[in-house]
Amino acid sequence: MKTKQIVTLLAAVCLVTGLAGCGGSNNNTGNNTANSNSTQTTTDSSNTSTNTTDTAANTATNNTTDNQATTTPDKKLEISSIQGTWASPLPDPNGNGAKMINDKFNVDLKSQFVPYDEYANKLPVVMAAGDLPDMIGMEGVDANFVKWAKQGAFLPLNDYIDKYDAIKSIPKSVWDAVTVDGKIYAIPNYFPAKYGKKPIIRKDWLDNLGLSMPTTYDELKKVAIAFAKNDPDKNGKNDTLGLGLAKSIVYGAWMGAEWDSGWYNKNDKGQLIPGNISEGFKKQVTLLRDLYKEGAISKDWAVTKSADARKDFFAGKTGIYYEQPYDISETRFKQLKETNPTAELAVIPPFTQDDGQQGFIGLPGYYELHSLNANLKDDPDKINRILEMINYFMTFIPVDQRNDQNPEFDWQHGGVGKGYNMENGVALDIDGAFSEMPETYLGVRYWAPTDEDTQPAMVLQDPFTKSFVQSAVDLLKNTKTYLDPVNRVHSDLLYAKVSELDQAVSEHTTKMIVGQESVDDWDKMVQEYLSKGGQDIIDQVNQLLTDSGIQGEWK
């Protein structure tokens, strides 16, 4: 009897403390707009002494001289940030680059880097604990971003951005992505919409077999089968594949927007629908099924990692795969050319669609973003200082001026010989010298006026890679790009359900390709998708698009 009472009591105590813990943390994120400076001092226990005095000083000056806020960096401000990174090793938070920023902007930058693998786990904990730094980096807009924005954790930036030229130049299609309920909650980083993964083909194989570049799915099928069966590399062995494919149908065989997985096609009611349940995608699946039957794609593709499929392509075993012309490493291309000296690569131009259009789906136009802590609301000095820094690093420097003659570039990259070297008139970052470059610490990219301005071929050294990239850029210059409107709205149903639904579709289509399910069952699969919540998602997304006047556009 006694134990039972104790158990009940303890359970009650635990429940209460548990709830209180949650409540407390929610309050921290939710209300931090209200009690800005007090939370700041209590939460940042890691670096208390400097911080307390700093904040105190801030409030004092704020109260007295508010006009001083803009552009006079005569007061040292402590600015903390947290962001994810793919860099390895991680930049040293106290590296030379950070010191250079501190001197130039008169700040004390406390940056924290977390590998992206774990960032999605760490950030929510830091958020819930009310431990938020001044700047918060994220990879993209997801359910968490929208949730935190709605809860008031981030500072609305609408009133600030017009003062900064580079920030102002961000196009509306990208601002839409970081806008929640009409308020801009983040400053996105540039990433070219045009230069995502594109289908590439071994042009030398085409020539060896006397084939021409495919322009329809029928021709593509013939080419891929010939690549697998007719010894395109002339080594006398039957060791080639037509098309590289990895599990979850990565990357598939999309040759234009209509057949891709973005929201391009419409249903009978005129609503936009996700690509993977469209008739266009069905065509892709049918092709892959035929290729599988003919042995033109690997028998093991359904369990192959994309890294292995890529490895096969760059080992010269595959005829068609996907690569991008931007931000690539030369290593793989060099390797292909070494083992296959005759190799020539080309992007397959998009096929003409049923609606007459011709073009690939673009990327969202940004990658990574920075939000500001809502606590900064009463500290315009700090907001301006941060935005000034972001604006500075975002200001585009034309590619042909990125050298040691340009003082801004030189400074941003830590100086010649330290952060970068000049080779053949091109500035090349020194491997692993992240910590020498101020640029590293804000993680902001130049915002290019147009995608062509990034001139990705300019910075490459290896002639083979360079010529491939240049040919890809030239081709894409005259090709249209479809901007998927779903990137510009925030549908909670989509965030909540789509990955589960996509998973089911991916399983069905995988079975269709390997012949365990008939492609004739396509409509059944679509029905299943729609009935399990897909229709609700479609309704909501279309409603949001109509409400905000956004539609898919060709650029």
Residues lying near another protein in the complex (CB under 8 A) are found at 3, 6, 10, 14, 18, 21-22, 24-25, 45-46, 86-90, 92-93, 112-115, 117-118, 121-122, 125, 128-129, 131, 139-140, 191, 195-197, 246, 248-252, 260-262, 305-307, 311, 315, 324, 326-329, 331, 335, 339, 361, 363-364, 366-368, 484, 487, 502, 506
Min dist CB 527 to another protein, Å, is 22
**Cβ nearer to another protein, comparing 107 with 114:** 114
- Compute how many other C-beta atoms are within 10 angstroms of the C-beta atom of residue 426: 16
**Cβ nearer to another protein, comparing 156 with 362:** 362
**Cβ nearer to another protein, comparing 9 with 34:** 9
| Of residues 10, 116, 96, 32, the one with CA closest to residue 372 | 32
- Enumerate the β-bridge partners of residue 114: 84
Min dist CB 450 to another protein, Å, is 17
Min dist CB 143 to another protein, Å, is 12
Give the whole-angstrom CA distance, residue 438 versus residue 95. Answer: 9
DSSP per-residue letters across 328-396 = --HHHHHHHHHH-TT--EEEPPPPPPTTS--EEEPP-SEEEEEEEBGGGGG-HHHHHHHHHHHHHHHS-
**Cβ nearer to another protein, comparing 37 with 335:** 335
Q: Which two tokens stand for residue 353?
A: 């669609």
Give the whole-angstrom CA distance, residue 497 versus residue 248. Answer: 18
Q: CA Rg, the chain, in Å? A: 27
Give the whole-angstrom CA distance, residue 36 versus residue 33. Answer: 6
Helices (H), 178-238: 203-208, 217-229
Min dist CB 212 to another protein, Å, is 28
**Cβ nearer to another protein, comparing 251 with 393:** 251
**Cβ nearer to another protein, comparing 260 with 388:** 260
Q: Which uninterrupted H or E stretch holds 322?
A: strand 318-323
Coil, helix or strand at residue 314: helix
| Of residues 293, 337, 358, the one with CA closest to residue 202 | 337
**Cβ nearer to another protein, comparing 104 with 305:** 305
Min dist CB 220 to another protein, Å, is 18
Cβ-contact 399, 458 below 8 angstroms: yes
Answer left, alpha or beta for residue 430, where phi above 0 means left and psi between -120 and 50 means alpha: beta
**Cβ nearer to another protein, comparing 164 with 468:** 468
**Cβ nearer to another protein, comparing 36 with 276:** 276
| Of residues 372, 421, 356, 336, the one with CA closest to residue 155 | 372
Give the whole-angstrom CA distance, residue 495 versus residue 503. Answer: 14
What phi and psi values does residue 407 have, to the nearest 5 degrees? -60, -35
Min dist CB 408 to another protein, Å, is 22
Min dist CB 228 to another protein, Å, is 18
Residue where the block lists tokens 């760059």: 314
Min dist CB 366 to another protein, Å, is 8
| Of residues 196, 287, 186, the one with CA closest to residue 245 | 287
Min dist CB 308 to another protein, Å, is 9
Query: At 378, which amino acid appears?
Result: D
**Cβ nearer to another protein, comparing 160 with 281:** 281
Give the whole-angstrom CA distance, residue 471 versus residue 281. Answer: 28
Min dist CB 324 to another protein, Å, is 5
